[in-house]
Amino acid sequence: MSSSLQTLLAEPQLAQQLLSEAQTRGFVTAMAAAPYLIDPSEWLAFMWGGEETSPFASHEELEAYANAIVELWNASREALLTGTWQWPEGCALDDKELVTPDTREFAEGLLQGWQLARDDWETVMPQESENNALLGGVLLCFSLLYDPESAMEALAQEGADNLAQFEEIFQSVPTMLCGLTLRAQDLVDNDAE
């Protein structure tokens, strides 16, 4: 994440109105993973709750924020399509809380972004398709990471070694998310031919 974006997100008057850094990364990653490119002008306002008026004091500040978001989107998209995407710094497992607050917020942001691209995902990977299982698996992983306490209860009911299983889920997310993005891109490209 660029230092200009981190600076903007740290400003007290903006911090209360914008998604946190981890939520921002999650949301932008969801937009970067989407099967069809969605113009940032269509989703940028969701970064501050969907209000028509942005929380920025000047047009220059808004432009700097938008440019930093697009830069983050570009980096995320490239990493997803080259299979090199990794959890952002701060996202990790935690002995006491299961996941760090950044991991939970990243998952929350990603799930919010996913809702925005949901129709596109359902078009490319319809319910009855085999690809829908991959999509469902990725969404389930992020849901579990957003609400790890419920995940641990569900794993315990399955009789699984909860912590080992949970660690496996966390570790598999980068591979699954890259694979999902690449699969969606292949489907879109094949459909266009």
Q: What is the pLDDT of residue 166?
A: 78
Question: CB-side exposure of 101: number of CA atoms within 13 Å?
Answer: 2
Integer Cα distance of 121 and 115 in angstroms: 10
Closest CA to 134 of 178, 70, 171: 178
If phi > 0 it is left, if psi is from -120 to 50 it is alpha, else beta; for residue 106 that is: alpha
This prediction's pTM:
0.91
Q: What is the pLDDT of residue 134?
A: 87
Q: What is the pLDDT of residue 25?
A: 96
H-type alpha helices, 34-161: 40-43, 59-81, 101-124, 131-146, 148-157
Residue 156 — pLDDT band, cuts 50, 70, 90?
low
* Chain centroid to CA 49: 16
DSSP character for 132? H
Give the least confident one: 5-9, 83-87, 89-93, 131-135: 5-9
